[in-house]
Amino acid sequence: MTGAPSGPPASARLLLSCADRPGIVAAVSSFLEKQGANIFQSDQYSTDPEGGEFFMRVEFHLEGIDDNRDDFERGFADVAGSLGMSWRISYTAQRKRIAIMVSRYDHCLLDLLWRWRRGELDCDIPLVVSNWTDLQADVETFGVQYVHVPVDKDKKAEAEARHLGLFGERFDLIVLARYMQIMSGDFLQAVKTPVINIHHSFLPAFAGADPYARARERGVKLIGATAHYVSEELDAGPIIEQDVSRVTHRDSTETLVGIGRDIERSVLARAVKAHLEDRVIVFGNRTVVF
Amino acid sequence: MTGAPSGPPASARLLLSCADRPGIVAAVSSFLEKQGANIFQSDQYSTDPEGGEFFMRVEFHLEGIDDNRDDFERGFADVAGSLGMSWRISYTAQRKRIAIMVSRYDHCLLDLLWRWRRGELDCDIPLVVSNWTDLQADVETFGVQYVHVPVDKDKKAEAEARHLGLFGERFDLIVLARYMQIMSGDFLQAVKTPVINIHHSFLPAFAGADPYARARERGVKLIGATAHYVSEELDAGPIIEQDVSRVTHRDSTETLVGIGRDIERSVLARAVKAHLEDRVIVFGNRTVVF
Amino acid sequence: MTGAPSGPPASARLLLSCADRPGIVAAVSSFLEKQGANIFQSDQYSTDPEGGEFFMRVEFHLEGIDDNRDDFERGFADVAGSLGMSWRISYTAQRKRIAIMVSRYDHCLLDLLWRWRRGELDCDIPLVVSNWTDLQADVETFGVQYVHVPVDKDKKAEAEARHLGLFGERFDLIVLARYMQIMSGDFLQAVKTPVINIHHSFLPAFAGADPYARARERGVKLIGATAHYVSEELDAGPIIEQDVSRVTHRDSTETLVGIGRDIERSVLARAVKAHLEDRVIVFGNRTVVF
Amino acid sequence: MTGAPSGPPASARLLLSCADRPGIVAAVSSFLEKQGANIFQSDQYSTDPEGGEFFMRVEFHLEGIDDNRDDFERGFADVAGSLGMSWRISYTAQRKRIAIMVSRYDHCLLDLLWRWRRGELDCDIPLVVSNWTDLQADVETFGVQYVHVPVDKDKKAEAEARHLGLFGERFDLIVLARYMQIMSGDFLQAVKTPVINIHHSFLPAFAGADPYARARERGVKLIGATAHYVSEELDAGPIIEQDVSRVTHRDSTETLVGIGRDIERSVLARAVKAHLEDRVIVFGNRTVVF
């Protein structure tokens, strides 16, 4: 999955889905042409041309769109309404805001911060929240605020209330960069923001705790990592990206953990990048990744 | 590169390129909608939204198109003319015809024939031409004609004349499945058919003879194979597909050849499949593979 | 895993395991030197230098060994006894014999037969057994006997009795090349031969039936295949080799099956090759693959 | 290449090569046994059992060896002398010292420093030298000295003299982590330390400047990186490690650079780790990597 660079200013990404039928692409592209837009990337997918679900992502440049978003959206709402579409639009001028949650492992966190500083991730990262203090100095090096929210087993609800307070409605995405706490269903409902987690196995194998030890116990010849949207059921949400690495009988659980770090950080970075570029559409428990 | 299955009957693939400008997608999709077509896959790519070259592939179903190809094409020629497009169309009802050329190695040839028999390659393969007789029995098992055309060093032109006679205008693609003869520029001009070759290295490394021996000599840790359209310059034509496999100091030239066989046959099969599904557009010395 | 070519005649492979302690390598290599052997490959692995289990594979040339096997083995038994070793020896002059079982899918079977014919697999393959007749002509092309043993749901014991009769004690390995029947514990006990199966998922994910459909349902971004020794518990035996391929939302169950075919055949071939070269030692439910 | 963790204290690695002949393994392992050593990893390779070159790496624990290195080495010198061996020994108690050279790209540098901090690289890294000042703050975060040595085109000899002064005889390895200056033959002769470079292509393709731009120009479908020991001829030294990543027509030179960063950093880290664990033996222009 090799992402295109972020579009020029005054550009936007339109994502939509509806029951498949003839004329959808024509309706969308004609509307965009009439507005004066220049489409520079367009992807579509249909689960089945006969009676299936249709998905589309269009990235386009339209001079002045950032001053006329309401007009544009009203206009498109008509098209969408006539075809029964679900849709959303995202403007590249409006950078997404990410909050990262982390416990004590630094590899996914640092990889995201390095990529962000280097310009690989088109977003703002103003906040890292942790149930530990270990990584505070590292995070502050990047000019990012680090907030320590301890999570006591019997006071989880309090911690989650603090999290909700910190996030408010200021974020577009929460990334769990090896955050070793399970989130309650109440929290996930309340937060109203997509949450991406990295799990250290190729799901659905080894969901839950200690996947590397269990991988060694089972004697697998590949280990992996999976980035997915968090849902109430543990490690069962829609998968965005996965990858694996070859291992042998020589690898102890400790060396598996080391090999796994490299997979985890690259899989999480690819998933976050795809989300930031509005390439991911969830449907049912699966994803379309354009 | 995971190909979609061949479309239903009464479907077609339209490939086009032109200078990028607003309105191309709208023009194409509106034309198709007016004809009553249902687009079930559409891909596009622009080298640069400002002044670049635009490429598009649309796969669609249109009831009755196979009885009205001339009308359809006349109609589209108008659209294309107004936008300065180069274009071609391919009907899934009209299976492509492949001729395979081979010398003595069986692995690429058999892999293509197995895949074809199993329905993975949507084409007819009526002819295999070889400068040796070794593989005749294998080929005839598949009900395919095997023609032996010896190639003497000093009578190459005669052999090529026989090849041209055999191919006539009956083929859409010629596949060199480890055919160990260099084709003359005259032949390539005269044959008027795309020719895909598999070269046993990751080009541009180790173009020319004995790539595995040279790979071992250089001490590389990966070997590869490259499928490309044949052009007059040896191993320098547009690349369609490449892949590699990890090797070590333990691998002799002989074991490299064995490892390479697996890469060669899968890379060639993927390239041929992409060509058959009209996914490849050549521009300059590169390819767009949708 | 890139295998060395089969050793020269008059060579052998010694595999052993014992509690780790100092002096094992010295004892084994000194014994071999005194016999006049030249070691050309040696691998060892210890689960833990302190109190762990030690594994070793030595491949050596020894002029005349094939006429003096009993003497050699008696001599080594003394060394082994003094160090409490489990061990076995395999002579390259004595080719292993394989029987293949298959149902209706041809890809794993053809790949094995083709590799065998071209000398990649150092063994004899005198027999293919199937519960269908579909692949008879293909198999006979390779000069291999094809025996049809129908398996009725309610007469499975009869079929297994016929299998045992066919195999007798004439085989060193049975390969299930997509044989779609579950073997009874009684059969596995009685057959006294290792059985390698190819399962069409990356185990432990998607054990059991219909792994490709379940992979699509779960929305994974990688599919895989696993070669393992068959044990009584379904798809739970010691894993020899695994591999995966990247897939996307576009891949239907049918295209997953096609992509999977390529993984299955190469994973199975690598596992069979490792077994034939005596590279695999089972311990507990895991394997050491040297 | 999945490395074993660093051995326990009082352990060492012996590397040797000589003309292949019977008895080498026995001689080495018997010597070690007599000293009371416990071998916990042993690898060997012969280019040809008849008249080839033999290579061996043995990792062993020997209580008290760090107080008796001279005795041990004198003893082994006798064994080595009688078999005509070249050899070297490395003690895990004596950590290797690395100096890193870098220009302005941070990805390889940060990855090495981060792996070092978390204990993946068993070495000291007291010094980073750069011809730019950009990365000074990052490096100092890790508690590592950063020395700025500008390199003027016409005063290269002066800069190299400063480098030699900085390195003295205090280092076991110099790592060029995207250091964008070509070193003179005089410098390489004088420095008397192995130098590992990361080149941003799969060599031998695209040696020299601008490999990503040239890769795009050639239309390859894979890009790669190569870690090699630096020799006088540019990008032509012995290769230690290589890897590739899949790319498409959509990737601009800029996105290739981004994809390449991930390959470069992991390939360089794997090569440095292999060197630190004494797994690499150079012979001719190739490497054995155990």
Q: For D131-171, what is each residue's pLDDT tens digit? A: 999 999 999 999 999 999 999 999 999 999 999 999 999 99
In this structure, what are the phi and psi dihedrals at residue A29, rounded to the nearest 5 degrees? -75, -30
Q: Does one domain contain both A171 and A222?
A: yes
How distant is the Cα of D269 from the closest Cα of chain C, in angstroms?
22
pLDDT at C31: 97
Establish if D263 belongs to a structural domain.
Answer: yes
Count of structural domains within chain C? 2
Q: Does one domain contain both D133 and D247?
A: yes
pLDDT at B5: 45
Q: What is the pLDDT of residues C221-241, one digit of tens each?
A: 999 999 999 999 999 999 999
Tokens of A83: 């075809």
Which chains are within 8 Å of B by 3+ CB pairs?
A: A, C, D
Q: Assign C147 to helix, strand or coil.
A: strand
- Residue A248 belongs to domain with CATH number: 3.40.50.170
Of all residues in chain A, the one with the smallest CA distance to B46 is A40
Q: Assign B46 to helix, strand or coil.
A: strand
Q: Does one domain contain both A71 and A147?
A: no
- Output the average pLDDT for chain B: 95
Nearest to D45, CA basis, from D252, D239, D290: D290
- Which residues of D make CB contacts under 8 Å with C? 8, 20-27, 29-30, 32-33, 36-46, 49, 61
Alpha carbon separation from B259 to A247, B223, B243, C198 (Å, rounded): 20, 8, 12, 21
Q: Cβ A262–D258 below 8 Å, yes or no?
A: no
CB pairs under 8 A between C and D: 65
> Which of C44, C198, C222 to mutate against chain A (most A CBs within 10 Å)?
C222
Tokens of B240: 């369609």
Establish if C210 belongs to a structural domain.
Answer: yes
**B89 touches B76 (CB < 8 A):** yes
In this structure, what are the phi and psi dihedrals at residue B190, rounded to the nearest 5 degrees? -75, -30
Task: Provide mean pLDDT across the span B96-102.
Answer: 98
β-strand pairing of A123-130 with A96-102: parallel
In this structure, what are the phi and psi dihedrals at residue A139, rounded to the nearest 5 degrees? -65, -40
**Apex D152 CA angle, D150 and D157, nearest 5:** 90
Domain that holds residue B15: 11-91
Establish if D249 belongs to a structural domain.
Answer: yes
Return the percentage of chain C with pLDDT > 90, whole number.
92
Q: Cβ C49–D61 below 8 Å, yes or no?
A: yes
Q: What is the pLDDT of residues C154-173, one digit of tens each?
A: 999 999 999 999 999 999 99
**A289 touches C246 (CB < 8 A):** no
Q: Cβ D218–B241 below 8 Å, yes or no?
A: no
* Residues of chain D with C-beta less than 8 angstroms from the C-beta of C92: none
Q: Does one domain contain both A19 and A113?
A: no
Task: Kindly report the number of other CB atoms within 10 A of residue B75's CB atom.
Answer: 14
- Strand-pair partners of A43: A57, B43
| d(C-alpha C3, C-alpha A44), whole Å | 44
In this structure, what are the phi and psi dihedrals at residue D283, rounded to the nearest 5 degrees? -140, 125
* Residues of chain D with C-beta less than 8 angstroms from the C-beta of C39: 22, 24-25, 44
Q: Which candidate from A238, A241, A249 shows the least CB-CB separation from C289?
A: A249
Q: Does one domain contain both A141 and A253?
A: yes
Q: Which residues of D84-93 are buried (b: 16+ CB within 10 A; e: fewer)?
A: ebebebbbbe
pLDDT at A174: 98
Give the list of residues 6+ apart from residue C36 with CB closer than 8 angstroms, or none. Answer: C62, C63, D22
DSSP string for residues in B177-198: SS--SPPPHHHHHHH-S-EEEE
pLDDT at C5: 44
pLDDT at B139: 98
Q: Does one domain contain both A102 and A87?
A: no
pLDDT at C210: 97
How distant is the Cα of C244 from the closest Cα of chain A, in angstroms?
8
Task: Provide mean pLDDT across the span C98-106.
Answer: 98
Return the percentage of chain B with pLDDT > 70, whole number.
97
Q: Cβ D42–C33 below 8 Å, yes or no?
A: no
Q: Which of D91, D121, D150 is the last residue of a domain?
A: D91
Q: Does one domain contain both A134 and A260?
A: yes
* Residues of chain D with C-beta less than 8 angstroms from the C-beta of C33: 22-23, 25-27
Tokens of D60: 């062993």
Establish if A222 belongs to a structural domain.
Answer: yes
Q: Does one domain contain both A87 and A110?
A: no
**A105 touches A174 (CB < 8 A):** no
Nearest to C247, CA basis, from C226, C219, C210, C211: C219
Does the model's ipTM exceed the 0.90 cut? Answer: yes
Q: Which residues of C are catalytic?
A: 235
Sheet arrangement for strand D53-61: C86-91, C11-19, C53-61, C38-46, D38-46, D53-61, D11-19, D86-91
Alpha carbon separation from B261 to B69, B98, B120, C264 (Å, rounded): 42, 22, 20, 17
Q: Which candidate from A20, A26, A39 shows the least CB-CB separation from B30?
A: A26
> Which of C212, C222, C250, C262 to mutate against chain B (most B CBs within 10 Å)?
C262
Tokens of D67: 């107080």
Alpha carbon separation from B266 to B97, B120, C263, C266, C271 (Å, rounded): 20, 13, 11, 11, 19
Q: Which residues of B are catalytic?
A: 235
Give the list of residues 6+ apart from residue A93 with CB closer than 8 angstroms, or none. Answer: A9, A10, A11, A66
Q: Does one domain contain both C142 and C218?
A: yes
Q: Which candidate from A3, A5, A251 shows the least CB-CB separation from D2?
A: A251
Tokens of A73: 């959206």
pLDDT over 60 at D6, yes or no: no
Of all residues in chain C, the one with the smallest CA distance to B261 is C115
Task: Provide mean pLDDT across the span C82-106.
Answer: 97
How distant is the Cα of C205 from the closest Cα of chain B, in angstroms?
22
Q: Does one domain contain both B255 and B270?
A: yes
Of all residues in chain B, the one with the smallest CA distance to D242 is B221
Q: Does one domain contain both C150 and C285?
A: yes
Q: Assign C140 to helix, strand or coil.
A: helix
pLDDT at A8: 61
Establish if D80 belongs to a structural domain.
Answer: yes
Establish if B5 belongs to a structural domain.
Answer: no
β-strand pairing of C11-19 with C53-61: antiparallel
Of all residues in chain A, the one with the smallest CA distance to B56 is A42
Establish if C2 belongs to a structural domain.
Answer: no
Nearest to A202, CA basis, from D115, C252, C242: C242
Q: Which candidate from A20, A29, A46 shows the least CB-CB separation from B29?
A: A29
> Which of C32, C39, C61 to mutate against chain D (most D CBs within 10 Å)?
C39
* Residues of chain C with C-beta less than 8 angstroms from the C-beta of D25: 25, 29, 32-33, 39, 42
Establish if B3 belongs to a structural domain.
Answer: no
pLDDT at B218: 98
pLDDT band at C49 (very low <50, low <70, confident <90, very high): confident
- Residue B27 belongs to domain with CATH number: 3.30.70.260
Q: Assign C208 to helix, strand or coil.
A: coil
In this structure, what are the phi and psi dihedrals at residue D262, rounded to the nearest 5 degrees? -65, -35
DSSP string for residues in D154-212: GGHHHHHHHHHHHHTT--SEEEESS--SPPPHHHHHHH-S-EEEEESS-TTTT-SS-HH
DSSP string for residues in chain D: --PPPPPPSSEEEEEEEEE--TTHHHHHHHHHHHHT-EEEEEEEEES-TTT-EEEEEEEEE-TTGGG-HHHHHHHHHHHHHHHT-EEEEEETTS-EEEEEEE-S--HHHHHHHHHHHTTSS-EEEEEEEESSSTTHHHHHHTT-EEEE----GGGHHHHHHHHHHHHTT--SEEEESS--SPPPHHHHHHH-S-EEEEESS-TTTT-SS-HHHHHHHHT-SEEEEEEEE--SSTT-S-EEEEEEEE--TT--HHHHHHHHHHHHHHHHHHHHHHHHTT-EEEETTEEEE-
**Using only C-alpha atoms, what is the Rg of chain C?**
21
| d(C-alpha D185, C-alpha D183), whole Å | 7
Q: If residue C229 lies in a helix (H) or strand (E), which one and from where to where? A: strand C222-229
Summarize chain B as % helix, strand, coil (round to 5).
35, 30, 35
Alpha carbon separation from D18 to A48, A79, A107, A263, C29 (Å, rounded): 65, 78, 43, 39, 18
DSSP string for residues in C45-89: EES-TTT-EEEEEEEEE-TTGGG-HHHHHHHHHHHHHHHT-EEEE
Give the list of residues 6+ apart from residue B148 with CB closer than 8 angstroms, or none. Answer: B130, B131, B132, B133, B136
How distant is the Cα of B52 from the closest Cα of chain A, in angstroms?
11
* Residues of chain A with C-beta less than 8 angstroms from the C-beta of D246: 2
Nearest to C40, CA basis, from D27, D288, D54: D54
Q: Which residues of D are catalytic?
A: 235
pLDDT band at D50 (very low <50, low <70, confident <90, very high): confident
Q: Which of B38, B67, B91 is the last residue of a domain?
A: B91
| d(C-alpha A265, C-alpha A230), whole Å | 17
| d(C-alpha C89, C-alpha A229), whole Å | 52
> Which of A31, A38, A53 to mutate against chain B (most B CBs within 10 Å)?
A38
Task: Kindly report the number of other CB atoms within 10 A of residue A86's CB atom.
Answer: 13
| d(C-alpha D254, C-alpha A119), whole Å | 12
**A197 touches A267 (CB < 8 A):** no
Q: What is the pLDDT of residues D80-120, one digit of tens each?
A: 999 999 999 999 999 999 999 999 999 999 999 999 999 99
pLDDT at D1: 32
Active-site residue, selected from the candidate residues A111, A235, A251, A278: A235
Q: Does one domain contain both A30 and A50?
A: yes
Query: Quick one: A91 exposed, middle or buried, by C-beta within 10 A (0-12, 13-18, 19+)?
Result: middle
Give the list of residues 6+ apart from residue D206 with CB closer than 8 angstroms, or none. Answer: B204, D214, D215
* Residues of chain D with C-beta less than 8 angstroms from the C-beta of A212: none
pLDDT over 50 at D5, yes or no: no
Give the list of residues 6+ apart from residue A83 with CB closer than 8 angstroms, or none. Answer: A18, A21, A23, A24, A27
Full pLDDT tens readout for chain A, 290 residues: 333 444 567 899 999 999 998 889 999 999 999 999 988 889 999 998 788 999 999 999 999 999 999 999 999 999 999 999 999 999 999 999 999 999 999 999 999 999 999 999 999 999 999 999 999 999 999 999 999 999 999 999 999 999 999 999 999 999 999 999 999 999 999 999 999 999 999 999 999 999 999 999 999 999 999 999 999 999 999 999 999 999 999 999 999 999 999 999 999 999 999 999 999 999 999 999 99
